[in-house]
């Protein structure tokens, strides 16, 4: 089984209370792909510029990630700068340079067309829709978005939401999309826009899944919401990519299982939390590059202990 992901591959400059890093490898598709690669085969669709070197490429290939859909264009790669000096749960964006992304027209390699799973990472919703339509065979589609698209490109975003089986966004984005403050009412409003399930990420407080009635048929008991905790960590070095790593663990685990059942959905939420917790322990993608499945499963057990009553 394989997941195809479309999204940003970027250079990030990041400042947190722990320190600063200039131009480290980042991007939503990068974090997603690395996290998901511990569970299943991953294929990337993105664009980079001439500043993307063999060293960055090796981060993907060392994890077996397929880069045949990574276009190399003249110019510079997407660049993002942000800080977490006031709030560790939410980045303050200082600079966004789209660079080669401004004229990105995703090309899907023939070899990707048999992917059963598709992740539409944070990117222009027009492109998300185009990729979904070009990959009609994908059985399960998950996606993400951000405040910029919600505020300034709402019409295009609303067009792609019905194509998503699971939308994964954070609390602020959920409220922004619905206009409501109450989290349950906001979730209902977002589900009414079309996704069959909504996973709201609460940063250091975990994540909650809400379902459209009857979503995923008999297999998933969709009547009730489900909450996965986040692992309490003594030090958060860099929160960048936590949300995309959550999505990678979540979707990667689902793709590795024979079918989507209630238990698989719930475990996927825990694996999402696990991958998010690793992502924040070091700057950039450092920690996600060198994990083992044993470490991942040990942390899964810690989450289970954290929440079980007996
Ligand atoms: P996260 O912390 O999981 O929400 O995602 C962080 C990543 O999103 C960073 O590595 C950035 O490169 C990337 N990013 C930031 N802004 C954008 C944007 N407007 N479009 C696509 N990717 C972005």
In percent, the amount of the chain with pLDDT more than 90 equals 93
8 Å CB contact between 273 and 228: yes
Task: Check which CATH number belongs to the domain holding 78 and give it.
Answer: 3.40.1190.20
Share of the chain above pLDDT 70, in %: 99
Residue 209 to residues 85, 141, 191, 198, Cα–Cα distance (Å): 29, 16, 11, 6
Distant-in-sequence, close-in-space partners of 16: CB < 8 Å, separation ≥ 6: 83, 84, 85, 88, 236, 237, 238, 239, 283
Ligand 1: distance of its center to the CA of 122 in Å?
A: 7
Residue ID of nearest Cα to ligand 1 atom 22: 8
| Residue 16 scores a pLDDT above 80 | yes
pLDDT at 221: 66
119: Cβ below 6 Å to ligand 1? no
Ligand 1 pocket member 80 (CB < 6 A):
yes
Per-residue pLDDT at 214: 79
User: Can you tell me the distance from the alpha carbon of 179 to that of 173, in angstroms, rounded to the nearest whole number?
Assistant: 10
For ligand 1, is residue 244 a contact (CB within 6 Å)? yes
Q: How many angstroms separate the alpha carbon of residue 252 from the centre of ligand 1?
A: 19
Give the integer Cα–Cα distance in Å for 71 and 68: 8
Joined together, the tokens standing for residue 4 give 């195809």
Residue pointed to by tokens 């660079």 = 99
Residue located nearest, by CA, to atom 20 of ligand 1: 123
Confidence of residue 39 (pLDDT cuts 50, 70, 90): very high
Give pLDDT tens digits for 108-127.
999 999 999 999 999 999 99
Of the candidates 42, 40, 72, the one whose C-alpha atom is nearest the C-alpha of residue 56 is: 72
Instruction: Please tell me whether the overall predicted TM-score, pTM, comes out greater than 0.85 for this model.
Output: yes
Number of domains the chain contains: 1
305 pLDDT more than 90: yes
Express each pLDDT in 171-220 by its tens digit.
999 999 999 999 999 999 999 999 999 999 999 999 999 998 878 877 77
Is 90 exceeded by the pLDDT of residue 49?
yes
**Mean pLDDT of the chain, nearest integer:** 96
pLDDT at site 222: 65
Scan for tokens 């899944």, then name that residue.
209
Question: What's residue 127's pLDDT?
Answer: 96
Residue 102 burial (C-beta neighbours within 10 Å; 0-12, 13-18, 19+): exposed
Give the domain extent around 42.
2-307
Tens of pLDDT, residues 244-282: 999 999 999 999 999 999 899 999 999 999 999 999 999
């Amino acid at each position: 089984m394989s997941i195809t992901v479309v999204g940003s591959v970027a250079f990030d400059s990041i400042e947190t209370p722990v320190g600063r890093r200039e131009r480290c490898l980042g991007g939503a598709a990068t974090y997603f792909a690395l996290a998901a690669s511990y569970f299943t085969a991953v294929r990337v669709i993105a664009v980079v510029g001439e500043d993307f070197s063999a060293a960055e490429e090796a981060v993907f290939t060392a994890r077996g990630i397929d880069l045949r859909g990574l276009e190399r264009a003249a110019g510079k790669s997407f660049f993002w700068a942000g800080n977490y000096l006031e709030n560790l749960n939410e980045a303050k964006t200082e600079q966004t340079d789209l660079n080669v992304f401004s004229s990105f027209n995703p090309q899907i390699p023939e070899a990707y067309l048999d992917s059963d799973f598709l992740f539409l990472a944070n990117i222009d919703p027009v492109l998300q829709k185009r990729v979904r339509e070009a990959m009609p065979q994908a059985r399960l589609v998950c996606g993400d978005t951000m405040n910029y698209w919600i505020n300034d490109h709402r019409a295009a975003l609303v067009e792609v939401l019905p194509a998503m089986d699971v939308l994964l966004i954070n609390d602020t984005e959920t409220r922004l999309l619905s206009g409501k403050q109450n989290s349950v009412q906001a979730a209902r409003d977002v589900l009414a826009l079309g996704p069959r399930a909504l996973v709201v990420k609460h940063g250091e407080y975990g994540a909650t899944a809400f379902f459209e009635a009857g979503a995923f048929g008999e297999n998933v008991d969709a009547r009730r919401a489900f909450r996965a905790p986040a692992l309490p960590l003594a030090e958060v070095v860099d929160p960048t990519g936590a949300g995309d790593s959550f999505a990678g663990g979540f979707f990667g685990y689902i793709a590795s299982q024979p079918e989507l059942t209630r238990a698989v959905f719930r475990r996927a939420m825990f694996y999402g939390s696990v991958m998010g917790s690793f992502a924040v322990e070091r700057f950039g993608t450092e920690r996600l590059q060198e994990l083992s499945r044993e470490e991942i499963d040990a942390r899964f057990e810690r989450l289970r202990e954290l929440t079980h009553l007996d």
